Amino acid sequence: MTLPKIIGRIGFAVALLGLSAPAYAQIYTFKDTSGRMVLSNIHPASTSKLPSYTVPKAQGIRTTRPAIAERALAFEGLITEHCRAQGVRADLVRAVMQVESGFNPSARSPKGAMGLMQLMPSTAKQYGVKNAFNPAENVRAGVAYLRELLDRYQNNEELALAAYNAGPGAVDKHGQNVPPYRETKSYVAQINKMAGRQAVARDKTILKGTDMTADGREIPSYTNLKH
């Protein structure tokens, strides 16, 4: 095997592992036919259709692989448990969690949202959460709140996600449509893309009731199921 091929394979392996490795003289970056960015010290065979750039005298290069997938695995049990209990798609919850916190249980937003599913203090209180940075409490409340929003908006995931981001008041204010806020529209589109298909809509008759928390407080609930 020639030296350039050996170096090329080493560089490819390093890119996958997210480690540092020396770059030999020049680094070329270009997109392959699948649209993925490629880093290589070997000049592409053809650059007529794919853009390439030369980085002269590069001393080294570091590539970082996303840690999202690994972080997600740590909470898979909680996601599965509460999604089954609430009848919410696990893919939807995973996408919400990824966008909200990047699966970081210690995440806190400038607006005060906390934990994996970025619960606002009022939402955490509504669902009896004592420690919003505790993954078990956070996921339980976050999935239950998402279920409430899905029921409130006839299982329309876009409206539920918009309400999760901007609040139900904003959705209702705009005639039960996704509010025309850039952040909210981007949030909904991003999660829809990650989560895949939307669930089939349920019966549009929504009933409002109340549930009791462990300490005896009443919280509102919305459902299309008649008891």
- Which residues are the active-site residues? 100
> By the 8 A CB rule, do 40 and 5 touch?
no
> By the 8 A CB rule, do 97 and 79 touch?
yes
Which of 72, 98, 79, 65 lies closest to 190 in space, CA to CA?
A: 98
Which of 40, 148, 144, 164 lies closest to 101 in space, CA to CA?
A: 164
What's the CA gap between 137 and 51, in Å, rounded? 48
Which of 138, 142, 130, 135 lies closest to 86 in space, CA to CA?
A: 142
Which of 200, 198, 193, 197 lies closest to 98 in space, CA to CA?
A: 193
